[in-house]
Structure 1
Amino acid sequence: MRVPRPAARILLVDGEGRILLFRFTPDDRPAFWCTPGGAVDPGESYEAAARRELREETGIDADPGPEIAQRQVEFRTIEGIEVSADERWFRVDVGAVDIDSSGHTELERRVMTQWRWFTRDELAVHDERFYPEDLTRMLNATERAHVR
């Protein structure tokens, strides 16, 4: 049986239209890249979780704005737990920014070994998996709907 996991995910886009992804290197599967975000704490709203995760993982303290998408996905967490995730997505646009990983947990410091700003063209030819797999489509859809 899968464990329910409410989660807030962030499309963090810089002034050049690039998206930030973190590279995860779990012990039990090949490395992959993923957007910032994570589980919602008990009693926390999705919006509050998005802001907290953004601050903890990138050092950026910004209002995540309105929810832009919702998804139901099933996967195995880095800790090896099979979950059914109710993901709420937020888009945060920033100018040029340095990433501050000092807020990472011990587990994140161990498995989130790199981060990088990707263009859509770079995602199209990248040789490692990234999640969500339709990230470029999500970026394009939010760009059209996003008010700068």
Structure 2
Amino acid sequence: MTTSTPPLREAAGAIVLDADSRILLLRYDENGGFWATPGGSLEDGEDHATATLRELREELGIDEKAVELRAQLAERSKNHLVGGREVRQVERYFLTRVSVTDADLAHATQSDNIRERRWWTLTELRAAQETVYPVGLADLVAAVVDGRMPPRPVVLTG
């Protein structure tokens, strides 16, 4: 019996916080429904930071001039289906802080099956009954809000 390794899919995501340290999450209906950070796969020739800025523009209408990407906070590797095909997705998550008004959905160019966009307080995130990806996001956000930036990217699961 042979087993094959799924193809690699590089992805980038943003942990978007506002001035009140609320995090912006997006809701999707597939796979039973879940909330996740903005982001997506890298396009040819992109690095992770460039892909993160593009995804913020496409999904949230955030002008790149309004975004200062900060440190890479985390990474995650997970096998999952994309377009009916299993891939090994490797994601890098970058911190950014924006104003609530910077997210201008009238300028978003790709909905990517996003059903809802919502700013969450840390208390709401910790109490969430819905599925939130990546697993461990609440603890990471709590550390950032408390001024405890990880010295190297944290490895998240799920």
TM-score, structure 2 as length reference: 0.79
Structure 2 counterpart of 1:21, which letter? L
When structure 1 is superposed on structure 2, of 47-56 and 121-130 the one drifting more is 121-130
Partner of 2:10: 6
**3-state SS of 2:100 partner:** coil
2:68 matches 1:66: no
Structure 1 counterpart of 2:16, which letter? L
Partner of 1:20: 24
Partner of 2:156: none
2:140 matches 1:135: no
How many residues align? The count is 140
What is the CA-CA distance between 1:112 and the residue it aligns to? Answer: 0.6
Q: Is the 8 A contact 2:122 2:142 kept in 1?
A: no
Q: What pairs with 1:41-56 in structure 2 (closer than 5 Å)? A: 41-56=43-58
Q: Is the 8 A contact 2:68 2:97 kept in 1?
A: no
Partner of 1:90: 94
Distance 1:98-1:67 versus aligned 2 partners, 3 A rule: closer
Deviations 1:28-65 (A, max 9, x none): x2111010000011111111001111111111122323
Structure 1 runs of 4+ off > 4 angstroms? none
**3-state SS of 2:101 partner:** coil
Structure 1 counterpart of 2:61, which letter? G
Identity of aligned residues (%): 34
Residue 37 of structure 1: which of 39, 57, 70 is its match? 39
Residue 99 of structure 1: which of 103, 107, 112 is its match? 103
**3-state SS of 2:139 partner:** helix
Q: State how far apart, in whole Å, the 1-side matches of 2:53 and 2:73 are.
A: 14
Partner of 2:155: none
Q: Which runs of 5+ in 1 are unaligned?
A: none
Structure 1 counterpart of 2:86, which letter? E
Q: State how far apart, in whole Å, the 2-side matches of 1:128 and 1:75 are.
A: 19
Q: State how far apart, in whole Å, the 2-side matches of 1:87 and 1:24 are.
A: 18
